[in-house]
Amino acid sequence: MSEAELLDLAARAIDRDTWSIARLITLFEDRRPQCAADRALVLKHLERAGARPDGRFLGMTGAPGAGKSSLIGRAAQRLIESDHQVSLAVLAVDPSSHISGGAILGDRTRVRFPLDERRLFFRSQASDQELGGVSRSTFQAGRLLMRLFDLIVVETVGIGQNEIEIQYIADRVYLVMQPMAGDQVQFMKAGIMEIPDCFILNKCDQEDATRPTYHALRVSMSFARPGEERQLPVLLTSAQSGAGIDDLVADWKSVRNGHGRHSLLDREAYYFQRWVRDEFGRQGLLRLQSSHGSAVDFLRKAGDFDQAQLKFAAEQAN
């Protein structure tokens, strides 16, 4: 794309024009090396126009069938009804096929946002055979969205215990479970139970099933996370009846108004290291450390994330 086109897209994106944001996300997800320069240009322009990287990330994780998508859809709509300023984008990650590399991105099925509502945006991503519950592109798309929206909800793939990547992106991590998932709670306590900041028991219209699960969860939490000073919150919700949605919305709002867990630089350093490892392996990581100190130092020197990628790649090519 030409510079003029990119600037035009960026200007429209600030007004939250859907098609422009959609095309820019594609640019940010694009892993071809030449795209880094385009991204840097877009970000510079956004910065100049006053779009600050202030958006907060909410991580929604949990097993398939727990009702993450329906819950996000319902809470997002309630959020924008209750506050006429706030804006929210969803990034939903679905698994890719190991055979063909393709993916079915089905999370939209349960999230139906009103047409023409520019304060809401939904985008699907394929996990692209990454483990960890998010895609390599999640952080990249997030870098754009955090300059355009107040809140960015990241819905993880929702399979297995290794969905721990989300903690490096999200300012607050929610684990969504459904009643009668007692066995799952046991199963998960070693891995994923250590990550969340808040638990959500969804589908709580099934009252009989809710209570034992609630207690099983409390017990598991004390095993999985001994010595923790304060009890972690457990929200009881139902996407179907709407129960507890207000509590979740209030929790989301507190993240928006509070301090973020990660600074932008922390996140960039983590994902820069990951990128170096993906592209150049352990040798690349060693070279980064030996010639530049830490990822943070290198990012500071390079100016920004995209320049750092360009610079590091150029160094390796020499």
Partner 1 sequence: MSEANGKSKHLLYDNGGQAVRDQPWIFRTYAGHSNARESNKLYRSNLDKGQTGLSIAFDLPTQCGYSSDHAIARPEIGKVGVPINSLDDFHTLFEGIPIEKMNTSMTINATSMWLLALYVALARERGENAALLQGTTQNDIIKEYLARGTYIFPPEASLRMIAEMYEYSLGNIPKWNASNICSYHLQEAGATPAQELAFALANAIGILDLIRQRGQIQGEDFEKVVGRISFFVNAGIRFVEEMCKMRAFTELWEEITRDRYGVKNPRYRIFRYGVQVNSLGLTESQPENNAWRILIEALGVSLSRKARCRALQLPAWNEALSLPRPWDQQWSLRLQQILAYETDLLEYPDIFDGSVVIESKVGALKEEARKEIDRILGMGGVRSAVESGYMKSALVRSMSERVSRINSGDQIVVGLNRWTEALPSPLLGGDDGGVFKIDPAAARETLEALQKLKTQRDGSKVEKALQRLREAARSGQNMMEPSIECALARVTTGEWAGALREVFGEYRPATGIEGQKLMLEDQRVQDLRKRVDDYAARNGRRPRIVVGKPGLDGHSNGAEVIAVSARHTGFDVIYSGIRLTPEEIVQSAVEENADIIGVSILSGSHLELADQLMERLRRSGAEIPVVFGGIIPPPDFDALRQRGVQAIFTPRDYSLMDIMEKIMTLIEERQAARR
Q: Give residues in contact with partner 1 (CB under 8 A).
A: 17-19, 21-23, 25-26, 29-32, 35, 65, 94, 96-97, 99-106, 108-110, 112-113, 115, 121-124, 126, 240-241
| Residue 152: closest CA among 171, 134, 167, 133 | 171
The residue among 79 and 269 lying less far from partner 1, judged by its C-beta, is 79
Q: How far is the CB of 99 from partner 1 (least distance, A)?
A: 8
Q: Tokens 């060693």 — which residue?
A: 286
Q: How far is the CB of 93 from partner 1 (least distance, A)?
A: 12
Q: How far is the CB of 35 from partner 1 (least distance, A)?
A: 6
| Residue 24: closest CA among 150, 151, 143 | 143
Q: Report phi then psi at 120, rounded to 5.
A: -120, 140
H or E segment and range at residue 176: strand 172-177
The residue among 91 and 164 lying less far from partner 1, judged by its C-beta, is 91
* β-sheet bridge partners, residue 152: 57, 89
Q: Are 170 and 201 in contact (CB under 8 A)?
A: no
Q: How far is the CB of 66 from partner 1 (least distance, A)?
A: 12
Q: How far is the CB of 75 from partner 1 (least distance, A)?
A: 16
The residue among 143 and 292 lying less far from partner 1, judged by its C-beta, is 143
Q: How far is the CB of 185 from partner 1 (least distance, A)?
A: 18
Q: Are 36 and 302 in contact (CB under 8 A)?
A: no
The residue among 101 and 293 lying less far from partner 1, judged by its C-beta, is 101
The residue among 126 and 299 lying less far from partner 1, judged by its C-beta, is 126
Q: How far is the CB of 23 from partner 1 (least distance, A)?
A: 6
DSSP string for residues in 247-313: HHHHHHHHHHHS--SS-HHHHHHHHHHHHHHHHHHHHHHHHHHHHHSSHHHHHHHHSSHHHHHHHHH
The residue among 148 and 224 lying less far from partner 1, judged by its C-beta, is 148
Tokens representing 197 are 């900041």
The residue among 111 and 195 lying less far from partner 1, judged by its C-beta, is 111
CA distances from 25 to 39, 225, 308 (A): 10, 37, 20
Q: Supply angle C-alpha 179, 256, 261, rounded to 5.
A: 85
